[in-house]
Amino acid sequence: MLSYAIRRVLGGIVLLIVMSLVTFALFFASPIDPADFACGKNCSEAQKEQTAAALGYDDNFLNQWVEFAKGIFVGRDFPDDPALRETAPETIVHCDAPCLGYSRERGAPVTDLIKNTLPVTASIAVAAFVLWIVGGVLLGVLAALRRGTIIDRGVVGISLVLYAFPTFFIGLLLYKFVAIDWGLVAIPRYTTIADGGVSGWASSLALPAITLAAFFMAGYVRMTRAYVLESLTEDYVRTARAKGLRKRTVTYKHALRAALTPIVTMAGLDFAGLMGGAIITESVFNYPGMGKLAVQANSDYDLPTLVGLVLLLAAFVIIANIIVDLLYAVIDPRVRLS
């Protein structure tokens, strides 16, 4: 098990390095000159060249990537105004490690921007993840065990309806009717634990989390139902029944455990994607998360911020894959033995 985990972690590190190279190349080796945007609209050619030299954009791609990678471990210095690098060194901004760049449009290191927005996105993602995993798996198992009954048809029917609705539509429905018209909850506004306590923080996440969870839960209900029904027809399940094991033991210890393998894969990848896919939900509820930051950075062509966000979210996907592989080894011994 230990050697298997080491191999997966080393493989993940290689993937992170390759991913950073590809991401950096897509943004900074493109035909669009980032110095044009860093300098501003009314810059002369001489000012653009000075800005490119100050920010390192005139260097070759590999050297730019090396400097970027070094900044992650040891930090970097960025001139807040490239034209004043020599005459006013006090304008140089130091970015502590790990440093993912410096946003001149926002006047702050990208790492600080992400630190301010990550808790919002992570809170929504974790709350939605818990809701859809618990609800999706439980309802899926219930539908499988009550196959052909009105419970099964009702659960599957409702899940199909929710699966057909886009996320922004569900969010707008909840916002207008539940919060505004019916007044069942306060109008959503993100509240930190320090400001509103645990209860205030949790209540502020309710509607955004339900919005995200509804779509994913619908898919997990259908998939869990299908996998459990398939597992219940396997020979080892019939053997367990023939031995006289209780129905609950056969269902949860044998059938459900076998059905968990593909569900774990889906859950890990969906959660990693959710960290970067909450853009619409955060826009609907106007929450200051990474999704909203990504939209603003894209509108301003803030390349350092976009690169930092893409690298972070891609790292989430890679780390989620490693965790899923390790969970595979726990659930199915054949994985680690192979």
Q: What is the pLDDT of residues 63-116, one digit of tens each?
A: 888 888 888 888 887 765 555 445 444 557 778 888 888 887 788 889 999 999
Torsion angle in degrees (nearest 10) through CA of 232, 238, 243, 246: 20
> At 249, which CATH number?
1.10.3720.10
Q: Which domain holds residue 60?
A: 2-111
Q: With 70 as the cut, is the pLDDT of residue 334 above it?
A: no
pLDDT at position 303 is: 81
Of the three residues 71, 86, 111, the one that is the final residue of a domain is: 111
CA distance 78 to 304: 12
Judgement on whether residues 68 and 127 belong to the same structural domain of the protein: no
| Domain count along the chain | 2
The mean pLDDT value of the chain amounts to: 81
Q: What is the mean pLDDT of the segment spanning 327-331?
A: 72
Other CB atoms closer than 10 Å to residue 130's CB: what's the count?
A: 12
Judgement on whether residues 87 and 178 belong to the same structural domain of the protein: no
Judgement on whether residues 76 and 216 belong to the same structural domain of the protein: no
pLDDT at position 151 is: 92
Q: With 60 as the cut, is the pLDDT of residue 337 above it?
A: no
Judgement on whether residues 105 and 116 belong to the same structural domain of the protein: no
Per residue in 133-164, pLDDT (tens digit) is: 999 989 998 898 888 899 999 998 998 888 88
97: helix, strand or coil = coil
SS3 content of the chain, % helix, strand, coil (to 5): 75, 5, 20
Judgement on whether residues 224 and 332 belong to the same structural domain of the protein: yes
In the chain, the largest separation of any two C-alpha atoms, in whole Å, equals 86
Judgement on whether residues 162 and 39 belong to the same structural domain of the protein: no
Q: What is the mean pLDDT of the segment spanning 316-321?
A: 83
Q: With 90 as the cut, is the pLDDT of residue 192 above it?
A: no
Of the three residues 52, 82, 111, the one that is the final residue of a domain is: 111
Per residue in 246-298, pLDDT (tens digit) is: 888 887 777 777 777 778 778 877 887 777 667 778 888 889 888 888 888 88
Q: What is the mean pLDDT of the segment spanning 219-246?
A: 85
Judgement on whether residues 103 and 246 belong to the same structural domain of the protein: no
